[in-house]
Each structure stands twice: as C-alpha cells, then as structure tokens.
Amino acid sequence: MEEHEQTSVTEVTVAATEAVISTSPHQVGAFSGVFAPTILSILGVVLYLRLGWVVGNAGLGGALLICSLALLISICTGLSLSSIASNTRLGDGGTFSILTRSLGFEVSGVIGVPLFLTRPLSVAMYIFGFREGLMWLTEDVSALSLDLGIFFVLFAIAYRGARLASSLQWLVLLIIGASLCSVVLAGPNDDSPFEIVWWGSFEGSVETGLKGTDFWGVFAVFLPATTGFLAGSPTRVELADPRRTVPLGTMAAISVSALLYLSIVVWCARVGALEDLTADYGFLIDHAVSPVLVVLGLLGACASSALAGLISAPGILTALGNNRLVPFSEAMGETVHGEPRNAMVLTGMLTLACLAVRDINAIAPLVSLLFLVTYATINLALIIEGGLGLVTFRPIFQVPAIVPAIGLSASIVSMFMISPLFGLAAVASMALIVLHVRRVGVPGGSDQARSSVFVAAAEWAASQITQADLDNPRAWKPNLLVPVVDAEQLRDSYRLLMDLAQPDGSIRLLGLAAEQPAAELGRRLARLSDAMGERGVRATWSMIDLDEYPKALAVGTQAFQGAFLRPNMVFLRLDRQRGVRLQASLGTRVAVELGQGIVLFMPDAEQGLGELADIRLWVRRGPRGWSPEHALAQGNLDLALLLGLRLARRWGGRITLATVSSPAEEPSATAFLDALCDLARFPSETERVVFQGEEAKSVADAIPVDLSIFGFPGGVPDLGWAEGIKLVSRGSCLFVCGSGSESVQA
C-alpha cells in the first residue's frame, strides 16, 4: 500500500512489537501519557468554583442527578473513544486523528472545527478561574488586567516551553491532591448542622441577581467539568502503545474523577446551606482546612488545563489545515522546527476574543454545547463502524452496542434541551462544512482518504465511489472474479467461494466460452449466481464469447475495472488435469499483468475442506530479518492474513500461524509471530508454531489441517512450487498473491 506522508498525521506503528524493536526514548505510558494530563484537565475550575454553586441551585438530589448525567455521557463517550482508538493508529491531532481514520475526512472535518473551538473557549474559562483564585488572595488588581496578564504568561510558556509545562504535571497533581484532602477533612460544623435539601429552587447566579435558572442551565455550567478526558487526550505521537494506553488511561481518569466529584457534591450538601453555596463561588476555599492550599490547587489546575488547551489546539488546527478542512489551510498547516507557530498564534487570538465573555457561567454553556457535538459524533462513529461488520474493525477494547447508543442519545437530547437554537445551528453548520470538504476534495491514496463508513454505508451511490476512484484498505472486502470454462469445475470450490465472500464480499462469475457453447454456459452460470444470491452473497455473472482463454480472461477482467464493486482478486482452481493447469497458468499471468490479487485453490481430492475448523497460515520472514513490517512489505502476507481471518470467523474455527526458521533463529521467529499477531489484531487464542528446517519438509511434518494458506514466495505465482507444497501437505491448500491494495493493519 502506498503511503502519503502528511505533516498533520504522522504515521506510526503502535503494536507492542514495534516498541520492542525500536522504542523512542520520549514515548510514555498510560499513567504519565494519558491519565495524568486527562485528570488534570478534568479536575479544574468547575470543581473548585462552581460545584458548590451547582449544589446550591439543584440541592443534593438535583446535583447528583446533574453529575450522574454528565458522567454517564462522558463514560459512554470515553468507552467509545477508547474502543475506536484501540482499532487504529494515533497520529498528530489526537482525537481528530482517531475520528479521521474511523469516519474519513468528510465527517471528521465536521467535528474537527467544533473540537478545535472548544480549546480557546476552555482556555478562557480556565483563565477566569485562575483570576478568581488570585483575587481571593488580593483584590487590588482589576479583573481585566489579571486576565490579560495570565493569558500572556501562559501563551509565552506554551509558545516557547511546552516541555516545561509537561514536566510540572506531577507537582500540580500533588498540589491538587493535597487541596482536595484539605476540603474533605474540613467536615460539617456540628454546632449548626444544615438539613440536607434534595431538590433546590434553582435561584441562578449572583451576576444575574439570582433571578432564577433551570436544571439544564445548571447542567450546562457543570458539563465542562467532565469534558477533560477529551481535552486531555494526547494530540502528538508520544505514546508507547496507544491502542492500550489510551483506553486504560482515559477510563482510569474518568473513574477517579467521577468518585471525586460525587464525593465533593455530598460534602457541599452536608457543610453548607443552599443559599450560601449559591452566593459564594469560593465556598470550598473558605471552608477548607487550609484555604491557601485550596487556592494553590485551583491555580495549578487552571494553569495546567489552560496550557494543555493552548498546546493541543494548534495540533488540531494544523491537522485541519494540512487536510484542507479550514480556510487559509496552507498557513495553518505550516510548522517551524516542528512547531505549529501560525496555528498557535490564531489560537491565541481566538482565546483573547473569548476573554471578552468575562464570566465562567456565560462561557461554560458554550463549551458544553461544542463538546456535546463532539461526543455525539464519537458515539455515532462507533455505532456505524461496529454495525457495518467490516473485517478491518477489530478493536482490542470492545464495548457493548448499548454504550455508544446511550452516549449518542444523551448527548443529542442534552444539546437540544440546553439550547434548541444552537442544536439547529450546529446541524446547519455541519452541513456547510461537509459541502466545503466535498468541494475542495480530500487527500487521496491512503487508508484515510475516504471514510470506510462512507464506502460501506453508501455502496448504492456507485457513481460517487467510481468517480473518486479510491482504493480504501479500511473498507476492503474480497470482490472475487471467478473465470469459469465449465461450471462443473466449481463443484469442489463452491463452499470456499461462499465463505470467502460472506458477509460483505461479492462474486463475479466470468463465463469464458472457450470449450462449450456460450448459451449453455450462460444458463448454468445464471442458476449458480441465483443460488449464491439466495444464500446472501452478492453474485453476478457475465459471458465473454471468445475462443482464446487468455484473451477472453483479459477482456473480462479489464471490462470490470471501471465498475462499482470491481473485482480485486481472481479466484483460480488448480488440479492435475492438464487443461485446468493451463487455465490456471494463463489466469495467473493475466491477473499479474492487470494488477489483480490471486487466490489459487488446490482442493484435496479425498477430504475437500474437511470439518471446516482448522486453518494454518504459513508466513515467512522479511528479506532483512524477522520484522513484521518487512514481511508485510513483500506483498502477499496482508491478503493471506485477511483471508485467514475471514474464514476463521465464518467457520468459527481455529487459526494457527506457522513459520520456518533455523534453530539459531527460533527465538526471533517466535517473537516475529507474536508481533505479527499483535500488529494484525489476531485473536489472543491464535496458536503460533515455529518449525525448523526446510519449508516443504515442515509442511509435510505438520499435523494435517482442513486448509493451509500460503503466500507465493517473492510475490510471483509459481505453479510448480505450489504443486510441490500441495503434494506434501495432505490437505486442501490456498495460495495467494496480493495486489498491494490490502492492509491487515487498516
């Protein structure tokens, strides 16, 4: 597969094996790379300055309901994001990169803009929180002066010293932990206990003269407290194993923060009267064992969250720019020594504009609404990808379908309950962005070029896919071209063809009237095609009325190249009959010339496909050693692995990876098989076997299985070699040669 290098999405292999082969000294694990920045983003301004206000307005029961709803949305979305992340590779842009690989540029372009806009708004909110903390210490400085001063200091650190900001996260975590202990240890005043009120009167805020609000107004102010897992998600390729660290770190941070928020809600209801909680934003500070320590926690949390926003926003904007999804794309995509300076300047300008809002209660609902749009799209992504049943969707971290369904429903309902007008405006804006993306086009030629969801869900729109002329590895499925001279020859291949094509592939029967009348062959192919269709396989047939087999096959294959669902591999059958061997020889030659994949089936005359249970995949090392990447680069391994996976799923059978090595290289060969299983996301129960000696002898010594799958050595079909292997295998064999468009890593 041809890879196109892009500054926005730097390709990395995230399998565990690559970490062993060449681990970057800057790579980090789940705790420091995901949990720490995520928990720092979650525990921020709302916790310290608005959680008491939430309890004061809603009462204990209302506050618990608000927190539970917000946490439910975040937990469902976090699980959905973790599942998607475990099925793809992380690139620059973090969440944007994940959504791009799942939904394609069209849909991720829609979500990338609001995802970026949440950053400047959030940074402004954190600056307001930092300012309120400073004003608790001193009231002699104007609020606007403090806001501007805080912004320029934080922007300078983000612009010049991102590594410094990252290195301080442990100190900030320690201070936040100590400050929360100072709050919890304070406890209620036994001399004047407060009666717990389960449902408040929703008095509103001091800024509006306590004129009242409602449940959804308070919910909109609180929701940003739970969005930190998205704001804190890594936006640069820095994780040692993103498929595992992102789910682990994200869900750990959400779980810990959920426990903390619910505990502080109960603490507020026990310690303060509702009117005091509503009127005093600094209630937690004033009633802590050490108010100064709580202020330090507030300052540290707000500063770290603001820096995270200032650092991550340019990465998202640069990814959008490089993929031509925003105006002035060239300028936004430029970097200086690897740093997105232009994007950082624009982020700073937008943050300054957001400071004009001047109030946490006013800016928090805007942050909430934009995050709800993002949440809805993430959950929708998992619903669609999981529902399509593509073989390329094999997340290591799987969640039940009900999880994204709840997240999507709750996000949409909450968005429209908070602001119906914004909900309609968001839908209209998404439509405009889709039109813009479709007009300017998207970079082609990689597994990100067009969404696998678009390809699989919109197959009826054949003209669009044909015009785009995209070979999308993520939407790959076997579209088999089966040359047929005599329909009887398909008798022992019928079951294998059906199992390869189901559930989402297709079969094109190409009748070649080289040996029998076209009318008779056509009738038999029509009946065969109908029978396949009745069993759930998309099957069609065509006739080429030419006497010369190679010319007829070439004409038929070329005719399908411009068609929707065009064939991507030629299925041939080989046995000892001279005529059949000649057809297979000519067929492989034509397929190679036309760039088609080749699937050559040699059935066992006695047992056929046996019990349809055991599959053995024979794989070889690469030309430069036991590296999965080098082995995959040979061109046959991707197709062999994908076909083996499909058949194992269809049969519900066992799959074994086998290779041959010298005794001295056995440890390397074993590590190679383990790495290949991880890279290809094979089931954990996959058996791995290393044979010693020559390949043919190893095949002969191996326990017979129902089907053995081999890749042609060197990527060149060699029928003599295949016949020799089949002779010693004692079972049916499948020999494959890839076209280069398959990718088991997609």
Residue 402: predicted pLDDT: 94
* Contacts with 567 (C-beta within 8 Å, 6 or more apart), sequence order: 479, 480, 481, 508, 557, 560, 596
**Residue 229 pLDDT > 70, yes or no?**
no
User: When comparing pLDDT for 22 and 218, which is higher?
Assistant: 218
87-100 b/e with 16+ CB inside 10 Å = b?
Answer: bbbbbbbbbbbbbb
Pairing of strands 687-692, 506-512: unpaired
CATH assignment at residue 745: 3.40.50.620
Token pair for 685: 């129960």
Structural domain includes residue 551:
no
- Tell me phi and psi for residue 217, to 5 degrees: -65, -40
Residue 559: predicted pLDDT: 74
Structural domain includes residue 704:
yes
Least confident of 334-338, 462-466, 481-485: 462-466
**CA-CA distance, 705 to 617, in Å (whole number)?**
10
**CA-CA distance, 721 to 485, in Å (whole number)?**
25
Least confident of 355-359, 444-448, 463-467, 656-660: 444-448
DSSP 223: G
Average pLDDT on 281-288 reads 88
- How many other C-beta atoms are found inside a 10 Å radius of the C-beta of residue 306? 30
pLDDT band at 307 (very low <50, low <70, confident <90, very high): confident
Structural domain includes residue 390:
yes
**Residue 13 pLDDT > 50, yes or no?**
no
Length of the chain, please?
746
User: When comparing pLDDT for 715 and 604, which is higher?
Assistant: 604
Residue 405: predicted pLDDT: 93
Residue 394: predicted pLDDT: 82
> Quick check: 3 and 743 in contact, CB under 8 A?
no
**Residue 660 pLDDT > 60, yes or no?**
yes
Last residue in a domain, options 416, 431, 466: 416
pLDDT tens-digit map of 375-416: 888 888 788 777 766 677 788 888 898 999 999 999 989 988
Q: Which residues constitute the domain of residue 316?
A: 25-186+206-416
Residue 422: predicted pLDDT: 80
**CA-CA distance, 702 to 674, in Å (whole number)?**
20
> Quick check: 715 and 636 in contact, CB under 8 A?
yes
> Quick check: 615 and 702 in contact, CB under 8 A?
no
**CA-CA distance, 587 to 589, in Å (whole number)?**
5
Least confident of 37-41, 101-105, 395-399, 426-430: 101-105
Residue 8: predicted pLDDT: 32
Handedness of CA 237, 242, 246, 249 (dihedral sign): negative
- Tell me phi and psi for residue 544, to 5 degrees: -120, 110
Helix or strand or coil: residue 658? strand
**Residue 174 pLDDT > 80, yes or no?**
yes
- Nearest CA-CA partner of 71 in 213, 242, 263: 263
pLDDT tens-digit map of 592-612: 777 788 899 999 888 889 898
If one counts the domains in the chain, the total is 2
**Residue 564 pLDDT > 70, yes or no?**
no
pLDDT band at 135 (very low <50, low <70, confident <90, very high): confident
> Quick check: 325 and 186 in contact, CB under 8 A?
no
**CA-CA distance, 32 to 35, in Å (whole number)?**
6
> Quick check: 335 and 7 in contact, CB under 8 A?
yes
pLDDT band at 691 (very low <50, low <70, confident <90, very high): very high
> Quick check: 277 and 56 in contact, CB under 8 A?
yes
User: When comparing pLDDT for 641 and 247, which is higher?
Assistant: 641
**Residue 4 pLDDT > 70, yes or no?**
no
Last residue in a domain, options 385, 416, 447: 416
Average pLDDT on 166-183 reads 84
Structural domain includes residue 126:
yes
Residue 192: predicted pLDDT: 54
**Residue 737 pLDDT > 50, yes or no?**
yes
pLDDT tens-digit map of 70-84: 999 999 988 888 888
**Residue 160 pLDDT > 90, yes or no?**
no
- Percentage of the chain surpassing pLDDT 90? 23
Structural domain includes residue 692:
yes
- Percentage of the chain surpassing pLDDT 70? 80
Amino acid at 300: G
Residue 240: predicted pLDDT: 64
Structural domain includes residue 432:
no
Structural domain includes residue 343:
yes
User: When comparing pLDDT for 256 and 29, which is higher?
Assistant: 256
Least confident of 85-99, 329-343, 482-496: 85-99
**Residue 262 pLDDT > 90, yes or no?**
yes
**Residue 254 pLDDT > 50, yes or no?**
yes
pLDDT tens-digit map of 674-688: 999 988 889 888 999
**Residue 19 pLDDT > 50, yes or no?**
no
Structural domain includes residue 256:
yes
Average pLDDT on 46-52 reads 90
pLDDT tens-digit map of 489-523: 788 889 999 999 988 889 999 888 777 788 888 88
pLDDT band at 690 (very low <50, low <70, confident <90, very high): very high
Residue 471: predicted pLDDT: 61
**Residue matched to tokens 């403090």:** 146
**CA-CA distance, 38 to 56, in Å (whole number)?**
27
Last residue in a domain, options 383, 416, 449: 416
User: Chain-wide mean pLDDT for the chain?
Assistant: 80
- Nearest CA-CA partner of 113 in 437, 442, 450: 437
Residue 219: predicted pLDDT: 93
pLDDT band at 53 (very low <50, low <70, confident <90, very high): very high
Residue 7: predicted pLDDT: 32
**Residue 698 pLDDT > 90, yes or no?**
yes
CATH assignment at residue 122: 1.20.1740.10
Least confident of 98-102, 179-183, 260-264, 371-375: 98-102
**Residue 215 pLDDT > 90, yes or no?**
yes
Helix or strand or coil: residue 46? helix
